[in-house]
Amino acid sequence: MAMDEAREPTRRDFLYLSTGMAGAVGVAAAAWPFIDQMRPDASTLAAASIEVDVSSLTEGMSLTVKWRGRPVFIRNRTAEEVEAARAVAMADLKDPEARNANLADDQAATDLARSAGEGRENWILMIGVCTHLGCVPLGQAGDFGGWFCPCHGSHYDTAGRIRKGPAPENLAIPRYEFISEAVVRVG
């Protein structure tokens, strides 16, 4: 038989192919329980987002809620706090990135990029975990009137931007949206 002639498939070829396919299906069927058990539990999925009523937070008040096992600071900032945050020069910031999950990654850390946006500049939501070693900062404290982590001396301003101390990044802002005037959904 010449090399360039096509060979007819035999019964043996069919058996090899069928056996290989049956083996692949068997391996997939045996592996599925292990793969399926890696999916999140229903209670975890339920905690994927929370809705918080912020109607009782008057100007200057804060609220801390727990989301995915971490504290989230929600603050209705005063007009003076917003103005103080707007007045900060970008060159004075230790971390120039907004770190806001609601915006593109390359956004500058302006007060507007850190707040709830146009028309809601007074609202700020942040994950309340210091970016240095994971401590929980104290609110309305520190050299800039924002948050202060007493463990190692990190000072955050009223927009949650790191201004002084060993923390390398601004406090992170989770994905959130106002679903009404009084309710915000985090996650």
Task: Report how far residue 150's alpha carbon sits from residue 137's, in angstroms, rounded to the nearest whole number.
Answer: 7
CA–CA dist 106, 58 (Å, integer): 32
Predicted TM-score (pTM) of this structure = 0.72
Q: According to the model, what pLDDT value does residue 2 have?
A: 56
Which of 41-55, 73-87, 171-185 has the least mean pLDDT? 41-55
Task: Name which of 71, 68, 75 is nearest 49 in CA terms.
Answer: 68
pLDDT above 80: residue 165: yes
Mean pLDDT of the chain: 89
Average of pLDDT values for 110-116? 89
3-state secondary structure of 124: strand
- The pLDDT, as a whole number, for residue 169 is 92
In this structure, whether the domain defined by 46-186 belongs to CATH 2.102.10.10 is answered with: yes
Cα distance between residue 100 and residue 110, in whole Å: 11
- pLDDT value for 173: 93
**What would the mean pLDDT of 5-20 be, rounded to a whole number?**
88
Q: Taken in order 71, 72, 76, 79, is the CA torsion positive or negative?
A: positive
The pLDDT value given to residue 8:
86
Distance from C-alpha of 144 to C-alpha of 94, rounded to nearest angstrom: 14
- State the pLDDT at residue 72: 94
d(CA 138, CA 135): 10
- Among 82, 49, 69, 70, CA closest to 126: 70
Residues involved in catalysis: 152
What does the pLDDT look like over 36-54, one tens digit per residue? 888 877 666 666 889 999 9
What is the chain's length?
187
